[in-house]
Structure 1
Amino acid sequence: MNRRTLLAMGTALGLTLGLAGGALAQDKLKIGFIYVGPIGDGGWTYQHDQGRLAVEEHFGDRVETIYQESVPEGADSERAMTQMVLQGAKLIFTTSFGFMDPTVNVAAKFPDVKFEHATGYKQAPNLATYDARFYEGRAVMGTIAGRMTKSNKIGYIGSYPIPEVIQGINSSYIHAKKVNPDVEMSVVWAYTWFDPAKEADAAKALIEQGVDVILQHTDSTAPLAEAAKTPGVIGFGQASDMAEYKPSPRVSSIIDNWAPYYIKRVQAALDGTWESTHTWGGIGEGEVQIGEITDAVPAEVKAEAEALAAKIASGEYHPFTGPLKKQDGSDWLAEGETPEDSVLTGMDFYVEGIKGEIPKSN
C-alpha cells in the first residue's frame, strides 16, 4: 500500500469522523436567553435565569445554554438575538414585554430558529408566547395589604403602563378594598423595570405620602430596602422571594416559577414536537407561587390569604369577578361575571376607586 493510498484512506476516515462529530454537535440543542436586567437583580431576571439553570440540570449534555443580560428593549435587543442565532442558537427565549417587536422582526429573518417571547401577544409559525397570571398573586397580596395597613394608604410602584401591570394594580386594589373598605391606593410610575435608585425614590415618595404598605411591579429589592428604613412599613417580594427581607418588611411574595415551562418547551424542541403556542399559567399551574407568609402577618390574615390562593388555584374563584365598575363609573362586569382573557390582555383602565390617570404608554 503506497503513501498516496494511505493518505486517501486517512482523509476519508477524517471526513467520516468529522461528519460524525458534526452530527453529534447538532444533537446538542443550543438555547439562548435574552434578559432585560442583570441576573443578580433578585427579582424578574433572576427567576428567568433560575429557569435556564434548571434546563441545564434537567437535560445535561443534550443542551447548551447561553444568555445576555441587561439588554435594552429596542434595536439593541435585535442585535443580541441575531448574534445568538449566528452563534448557533436554535431556540431563543426573550424575556421582557419590550422585546416583542424586536423578536417578531428577528424571527421573520430566521424561520428555522424557534423563538419564545415572555408576556407578549404577537406570534408567528416560529414564534410562541408565554405569560403568567400575575394578577392572581396580586389578589393574595392585596388581601394581606388591606388587612395590614394602619394608615389605610397602600402604594404601588408600576414599571410601565402596559396591561400586565395595570392588571396587577387593579387586582391588588380590588382585594384590598374587599377586606378594608377605607383603603386608598396611590400609584407611582417608575418607567423602568430595573433601576434601584428610581425604585427606592418611588418607595420613599409613597412613604412620605403616609403609605405603610408598598407593592411593586419592578424588579429590584430597593423598595423593600427603603421600606426597612421606616418602622411599620411593609412590602412584598416581587417575581422572586426576596427572602433577605423576612420577616419584615417583606411579609410575603409573588414568585415566578419559569422552570417547568422552560423544561417542557425545550423537551418539545428536542422531540421535534415544538409548535407556536400561547401559554398563560397561574397559581393552579404552579407558574405563580405565593412565598411564605411570615409571622409578621396575624394568623387569621395568613389563613384568609392562603384560602384565597387555594380558591384561585382550583378555579373556584377568579380575581376579576363582578360586580365591578371602571374608574369612570361605567359598568364593566355584572354580578358573578368574569372577563375573557382577551379583555385582560388589553386592559387599559383602572377599576372604580383608584385615583389618578394611567399615563400614555411610551
Structure 2
Amino acid sequence: MKFGKLLAGAVLALGVGGAAFADGHEKTKVGFVYVGPVGDGGWTYEHDQGRLAVEAEFGDKVETVYVENVAEGPDSERVMTQMALDGADLIFTTSFGYMDPTNNVAAKFPDVKFEHATGYKRLHPNVSTYSARFYEGRAVQGHIAGNMTKSNIIGYIGSFPIPEVIRGINSAYIHAKKVNPDVEMKIVWVYTWFDPAKEADAAKVLIEQGADVVLQHTDSTAPQAAAQEAGNVVTFGQASDMGQYAPFPRVSSIIDDWAPYYIARTRAVMEGTWEQMDTWDGIGPGMVKIGEISDAVPAEVKAEAIALRDALADGSYHAFTGPLNKQDGTAWLADGETADDGTLAGMNFYVEGIEGEIPQ
C-alpha cells in the first residue's frame, strides 16, 4: 500500500531505551516508516500495533523506532537513510510508494535488512516484500453489501488506482453482484491514503449519489462519521476494526494483523536466519481478519458471510473464480477457473459491470 502525501509534523519516536546489554551484546534495533499518524485508526495504527507486539515479544532484546507522517518519495528516503545511519538492523517500510526509496537505501546499506509492505521490487538481497490478500476481505464485505443495500448503489472510496485497490474494488463488486444482480458501484478517487476531510467529502458525495453502503480503501474513520451523520448508510472498517462505529454504521471490518510477521522477521534477524522472501498471505494464515459482524446484519446474511470467510481461509473457494469477463466484455476466466497471482498482482482492469474508467 501507499503513495500518499506529507502530513505535517513527522515525529521520531523511540521504543525501549538503551543500546546494549550489560555484557556488551547489542540490542536488535528495528525501525518502522509510516505514511500516516499512528492514531489514524486504520492502516498505520495496525502497523504500530505490530511494532508494539515486537517489543512485547522480545523485551529488552530489541529497541524499536518509528517515524510517522512520512511522505512517499525523497522524504522517505531521507528517513530510511537516517534510521540506517542510527544503527537499525531491520527496517519495515509500510507504504506502497516507499518501494523505490527502500531499494535505493538498501543498496547503500547492505548489512541492514529491509522489508517493504505491498511492493514487488526486491532489487537487492537485503530487501524482502510482504503484503496481505485484502481482496479476500473485500469479498466478504461485498457479500454483505449486496444483501444490505436498498438503493442498489454501493459506493467505494478509492485511494490510488494501483493494483491493490483495483483488486479490492473488483472483489467487492463481484460478490455484491452475485447476491444482488441489480447492484451498481460508484467510485470516488481521493488520491490520498489519509486525509479525513477528503475522505469525509468523498463519502458525502457517494451518499448524495444514492449509495446506502460505502466501502473505503483509505485510512481514517472520517467516512464512518459521515455515514453515521447521514443515517441509514452501511460502512465497513478499513485496515483496523473501527469498532467505535459498531453496531452501525460499521457492520464489519477488514483487520490487518502484522504482528506475527513482524515478530517472525525480527526473530530471523536476531538469529541470523533472515533470508530474502516475498510474502502474500490472506485470511487463512491470519494476516487478514474479518472483524465482528454486527447484529445489524440479518442473521442469514451473517451466516453466509462467515461461511464465505471460512471457504476463503481453507482454500476451498477463491475470490476470483470464473466465469468472469473484463469490463470491455472480453473473456477473462472460464467457468470454475481461478485467477493466477501474477494477474492479480498487476491488475489494471475492472471486471464487467463496473462503470467508468480507471484513472491513469
**TM-score relative to the length of structure 1:** 0.93
SS of 2:171's equivalent in the other structure is helix
Question: Is residue 2:222 matched to residue 1:222?
Answer: yes
- The CA distance in 2 between the partners of 1:225 and 1:334, in whole Å, is 41
The amino acid across from 1:340 in the alignment is D
Residue number in structure 2 paired with 1:162: 162
Residue number in structure 2 paired with 1:79: 78
- The CA distance in 1 between the partners of 2:343 and 2:25, in whole Å, is 42
- The CA distance in 2 between the partners of 1:161 and 1:122, in whole Å, is 18
Residue number in structure 2 paired with 1:7: none
SS of 2:206's equivalent in the other structure is helix
Which stretches of structure 1, 4 residues or more, deviate above 6 A after TM superposition?
none
SS of 2:346's equivalent in the other structure is coil
Question: Is residue 2:102 matched to residue 1:103?
Answer: yes
SS of 1:156's equivalent in the other structure is strand
SS of 2:230's equivalent in the other structure is coil
Contact persistence 2:236–2:250 (CA under 8 A): yes
Residue number in structure 1 paired with 2:315: 315
The amino acid across from 1:326 in the alignment is K
**Greater C-alpha radius of gyration:** 1
SS of 1:354's equivalent in the other structure is coil
SS of 2:268's equivalent in the other structure is helix
- The CA distance in 2 between the partners of 1:165 and 1:301, in whole Å, is 25
User: How many angstroms does 1:230 deviate by?
Assistant: 1.3
Structure 1 residues 79, 334: closer, same or farther in 2, change over 3 A?
A: same
User: How many angstroms does 1:22 deviate by?
Assistant: 8.3
Per-residue Cα deviation, 1:273-320 (whole angstroms, up to 9, x for no partner): 000100001000000000000010000000000000000000000000
User: How many angstroms does 1:24 deviate by?
Assistant: 4.7
User: How many angstroms does 1:23 deviate by?
Assistant: 8.8
Q: Which runs of 5+ in 1 are unaligned?
A: 1-20
User: How many angstroms does 1:326 deviate by?
Assistant: 0.2
Residue number in structure 1 paired with 2:180: 180
Per-residue Cα deviation, 1:156-201 (whole angstroms, up to 9, x for no partner): 0000000000000000000000000000000100100000000000
The amino acid across from 1:171 in the alignment is S
The amino acid across from 2:295 in the alignment is D
Residue number in structure 1 paired with 2:205: 205
Correspondences of 1:29-178 after superposition (within 5 Å): 29-123=28-122, 124-178=124-178
The amino acid across from 1:297 in the alignment is V
**TM-score relative to the length of structure 2:** 0.93
SS of 1:61's equivalent in the other structure is helix
SS of 1:306's equivalent in the other structure is helix
Per-residue Cα deviation, 1:214-240 (whole angstroms, up to 9, x for no partner): 000000000000000112101000000
Q: How many residues align?
A: 341
Residue number in structure 1 paired with 2:17: none
Correspondences of 1:309-348 after superposition (within 5 Å): 309-348=309-348
- The CA distance in 2 between the partners of 1:234 and 1:116, in whole Å, is 35
- The CA distance in 2 between the partners of 1:52 and 1:26, in whole Å, is 22
- The CA distance in 2 between the partners of 1:159 and 1:297, in whole Å, is 27
- The CA distance in 1 between the partners of 2:85 and 2:280, in whole Å, is 30
User: How many angstroms does 1:25 deviate by?
Assistant: 5.1
Q: Which runs of 5+ in 2 are unaligned?
A: 1-19
Residue number in structure 2 paired with 1:14: none
User: How many angstroms does 1:340 deviate by?
Assistant: 1.3
* Structure with more of its chain in helix, by fraction: 1
User: How many angstroms does 1:27 deviate by?
Assistant: 3.0
- The CA distance in 1 between the partners of 2:284 and 2:25, in whole Å, is 37
SS of 2:104's equivalent in the other structure is helix
Identity %: 73
- The CA distance in 2 between the partners of 1:246 and 1:311, in whole Å, is 25
User: How many angstroms does 1:339 deviate by?
Assistant: 1.5
